[in-house]
């Protein structure tokens, strides 16, 4: 019986109270997917839940569920919430009429439905099958077997404990958190022969406990790739944000032997964003984590290698090869290099701030801390989109979110749609002309000193959480003396390198540098780290793709 269940075709379930629609969607699904999947249909949410319970008892798998939004007794959102309890890994889509779109989008944001489909979906080749293909691709990639979780034991206010959780979350590694002063946490520490001083304790699926591991050790233990498969590539990409992932997708898909190396986690600053709402093709918004995970899987599908915890410290030209050197002394060579290291948030120039990093004060939007913010006042420092997105996100958890802005307003630094969104959230307050000048506390952050730039007065406010999104500093010290940079450290490219018709120093080619090419031939730059770039996710992805086109042009002329 068990063997028969495991061999059965995965199930596609469609639920609609309109018999004509129900028959039509089942017919179209069977026509296209019937060879590999079994299609079931139900005429109500209750009938569908009964069917799912039977499927569960038989040990069969459900790949995707398509549910109508407007159904009597139980609407599609309510049904999908209950269906997720039975089959949490099944992918989910809503069927909506045109008039339902706004309500459906709002519900999608709440319960994280994967897609919505507008009725009618004719022709299915254009409007139905691409959506279902995406659902099934995700389901197949994530699998339907139980996920082996990593166990993490630590102190709530221990900076390294936070660092481990953040690293795992940003690299899409499932884990379970145990506080070291709770019974299960103490049991795990005892089983590993560890004490509260050994936190964070990390127990990967192998069962070998790791005491306060660094990121490289942690990455290897949880199965992330850290070592290249060969010594020489067509293309090495340094940095795994939107620009680097864009370059990896286009480089690998166009036949280049491509490797992307990332110091921490793919996604960069964009990967920590709670919701990006102005990215083309996602009208209901998409989280940075979701966008990053899709791009990562896409790059891997085309054959790119993605290496984590590899810190690049030097770039060298060695004849026709471009060589990147790592902090551990190893190196990697390629015909061409794309630098996509992005930018880092500037440190908060406040007295005592460094003492509380990872202990109440965080750089970027740390989603792992969101549940602990429940019922508390949260302060967010910054006036650009990343800060605004974080304020929206934390408003769902915190009692009050205070956005601290140094300037007189948000209009010059934040997108209009986001300003309007913040204005509509009751528990979000925007304080302009305000700077953080002090941070106080004992074991963790407890108070901030806020200075009014107009009066000079300093006010102490109580808060255990502060998230910082100020400025942008490029990570380019490792390029010092190799490529031309501007006064802020951003890398000059293309036309910016040619002054009064003179090519950059050391340029030994007859042609001028390509648009995204640095002062070293064969070394290109994409995204926020480029001088005068547009600091947007879409432009970073576009530059990553453009850089690959220019790499091909460079290789053709070499």
DSSP letter string over 332-362? Answer: EEEEEEEE---EEPPPP-SBTGGGGBTTTEE
Q: How does pLDDT run across 181-232, given as a tens digit for each residue?
A: 998 899 889 888 898 889 999 999 888 899 999 999 999 999 999 999 999 9
pLDDT at position 103 is 55
- The rounded distance, in Å, linking the Cα atoms of 546 and 558 is 19
Q: What is the pLDDT of residue 6?
A: 39
Q: Is 113 left (phi over 0), alpha (psi -120 to 50) or beta?
A: beta
**Whether the Cβ atoms of residue 95 and residue 45 lie closer than 8 Å to each other:** no
Q: Tell me the pLDDT band of 3, cut-offs 50, 70 and 90.
A: very low
The answer on 192 and 159 residing in a single domain is yes
- For the CA atoms of 479, 483, 489, 493, the dihedral, rounded to the nearest 10 degrees, stands at -140
- Cβ neighbours around 417 below 10 Å, total: 12
**Pairwise pLDDT comparison (81 vs 353), residue with the higher score:** 353
Domain boundary among the residues 221, 241, 271 is at 221
Q: Are residues 464 and 494 in the same domain?
A: no
- Token pair, residue 440, equals 């106080």
Q: Is 227 part of any domain? A: no
Residues 304 and 271 in one domain: yes
What letters, b where the CB count within 10 A reaches 16 and e where it falls short, cover 308-317? bbbebeebee
* Residue-level pLDDT at 191: 86
3-state secondary structure 41-94: EECCHHHHHHHHHHHHHHCCCEEEEEEECCCCCCCHHHHHHHHHHHCCCCEEEE
* pLDDT for the residue 5: 40
Same-domain pairing of 244 and 208: no
- Quote the number of domains for the chain: 4
Residue 160 included in any domain: yes
Residue 380 belongs to a domain: yes
Angstrom CA distances, 338 to 251, 286, 303, stand at 10, 26, 17
- Its domain, for residue 172, covers 150-221
Classify residue 366: in a domain, yes or no. yes
Lowest average pLDDT, out of 143-147, 237-241, 390-394, goes to 143-147
Peptide bond into 123 cis (omega under 30): yes
Residues 176 and 294 in one domain: no
Give the residue among 425, 414, 405 at the shortest CA–CA distance from 385: 414
Same domain assignment for residues 527 and 513: yes
Residues 33 and 129 both lie in one domain: yes
Instruction: Tell me, yes or no, whether 415 lies in a domain.
Output: yes
Do 154 and 203 lie in a common domain?
yes
Q: Which residue in 209, 204, 286 sits closest to 242, CA to CA?
A: 286
- 91, 119, 142: which is the final residue of a domain? 142
My answer on whether 10 and 126 are in the same domain is yes
Tokens of 170: 């940003």
Using 50, 70 and 90 to split pLDDT, how confident is the model at 72? confident
Task: Return the closest-CA partner of residue 34 out of 42, 26, 23, 24.
Answer: 26
Question: What are the Cα distances from residue 21, in Å, to 17, 120, 148?
Answer: 8, 9, 39
Quick one: pLDDT at residue 278? 86
| Strand blocks (E) in 364-495 | 377-381, 400-404, 428-431, 434-441, 445-452, 458-462, 465-468, 473-474
Q: What is the CATH number of the domain that holds 13?
A: 3.40.50.2300
Question: Any idea what the Cα angle at residue 397 is, between residues 395 and 400, rounded to 5°?
Answer: 50
Q: Where are the beta strands (DSSP E) in 469-546?
A: 473-474, 523-525
348 within some domain: no
The mean pLDDT of the chain is: 91
Centre a 10 Å sphere on the Cβ of residue 44 and count the other Cβ atoms it contains: 18
Interval 353-364 mean pLDDT:
95
Query: Do 406 and 484 share a domain, yes or no?
Result: no
Q: Does residue 394 lie in a domain region?
A: yes
Residue whose entry in the numeric block shows the structure tokens 């910054």: 382
Residue 235 has pLDDT above 80, yes or no: yes
Together in a domain, 133 and 158: no
Which pLDDT does position 144 carry in this prediction? Answer: 66
pLDDT in tens, 421-473: 999 999 999 999 999 999 999 999 999 999 999 999 999 999 999 999 997 79
Write phi, then psi, for 135 (nearest 5 degrees). -60, -45
- Mark which of 125, 142, 159 sits at the end of a domain: 142
CA torsion, ordered 65, 285, 528, 235, to nearest 10 deg: 20
- CATH (domain of 179): 3.40.30.10
**% the chain with pLDDT above 70:** 95
β pairing state of 115-118 and 458-462 = unpaired
DSSP letter at 373? Answer: G
* Domain identity same for 81 and 207: no
Q: What percent of the chain has pLDDT over 90?
A: 68
CA distances from 65 to 14, 141, 380 (A): 6, 17, 38
**Is residue 275 situated within a structural domain?**
yes
> Token pair for residue 496?
């910016």
CATH number, domain containing residue 382? 3.50.50.60
């Amino acid at each position: 019986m068990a063997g028969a269940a495991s061999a059965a075709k995965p199930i596609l379930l469609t639920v609609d109270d309109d018999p004509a629609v129900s028959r039509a969607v089942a017919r179209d699904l069977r026509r296209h997917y019937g060879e590999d999947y079994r299609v079931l249909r139900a005429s109500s949410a209750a009938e569908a839940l009964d069917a799912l319970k039977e499927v569960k008892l038989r040990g069969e798998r459900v790949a995707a569920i398509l549910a109508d939004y407007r159904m009597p007794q139980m609407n599609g959102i309510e049904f999908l919430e209950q269906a997720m309890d039975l089959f949490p890994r099944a992918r989910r889509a809503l069927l909506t009429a045109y008039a339902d779109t706004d309500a459906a989008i709002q519900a999608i944001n709440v319960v994280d439905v994967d897609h919505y489909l507008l009725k009618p979906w004719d022709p299915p080749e254009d409007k139905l099958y691409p959506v279902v293909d995406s659902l099934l691709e995700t389901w197949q990639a994530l699998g339907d077997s139980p996920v082996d979780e990593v166990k993490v034991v630590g102190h709530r206010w221990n900076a390294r404990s936070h660092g481990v959780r953040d690293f795992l979350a940003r690299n899409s590694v499932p884990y379970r958190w145990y506080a070291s002063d709770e019974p299960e946490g103490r049991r795990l520490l005892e089983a590993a022969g560890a004490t509260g001083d050994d936190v964070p304790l990390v127990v990967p699926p192998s069962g070998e406990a790791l005491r306060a591991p660094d990121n490289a050790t942690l990455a290897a233990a949880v199965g992330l790739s850290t070592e290249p498969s060969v010594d020489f590539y067509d293309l090495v990409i340094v940095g795994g944000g939107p620009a680097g992932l864009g370059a990896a997708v286009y480089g690998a898909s166009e036949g280049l032997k491509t490797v992307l190396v990332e110091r921490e986690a793919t996604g960069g600053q964009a990967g920590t964003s709670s919701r990006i709402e102005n990215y083309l093709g996602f009208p209901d918004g998409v989280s940075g984590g979701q966008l990053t995970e899709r791009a990562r899987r896409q790059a891997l599908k085309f054959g790119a290698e993605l290496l984590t915890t590899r810190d690049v410290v030097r770039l060298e030209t060695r004849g026709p090869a471009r060589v990147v050197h790592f902090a551990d002394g190893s190196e990697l060579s390629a015909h061409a290099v794309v630098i996509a290291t992005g930018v880092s948030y500037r440190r908060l120039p406040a007295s005592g701030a460094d003492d509380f990093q990872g202990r109440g004060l965080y750089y970027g939007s740390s989603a792992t801390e969101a549940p602990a913010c429940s019922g508390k006042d949260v302060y967010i420092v910054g006036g650009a989109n990343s800060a605004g997105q974080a304020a929206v996100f934390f408003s769902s958890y915190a009692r009050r979110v205070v956005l601290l802005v140094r300037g007189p307003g948000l209009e010059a630094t934040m997108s209009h749609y986001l300003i309007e969104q913040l204005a509509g959230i009751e528990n979000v307050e925007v304080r302009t002309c305000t700077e953080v000048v002090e941070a106080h506390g004992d074991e963790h952050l407890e108070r901030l000193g806020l200075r009014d730039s107009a009066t000079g007065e300093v006010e102490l406010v109580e808060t255990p959480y502060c998230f910082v999104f100020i400025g942008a500093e490029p990570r380019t010290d490792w390029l010092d003396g190799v490529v031309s940079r501007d006064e802020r450290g951003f890398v000059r490219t293309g036309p910016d390198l040619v002054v009064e018709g003179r090519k950059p120093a050391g340029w030994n080619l007859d042609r001028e540098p390509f648009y995204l090419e640095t002062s070293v031939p064969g070394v290109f730059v994409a995204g926020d780290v480029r001088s005068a770039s547009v600091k947007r996710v879409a432009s970073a992805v576009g530059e990553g793709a453009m850089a690959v086109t220019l790499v091909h042009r460079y290789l053709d002329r070499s």
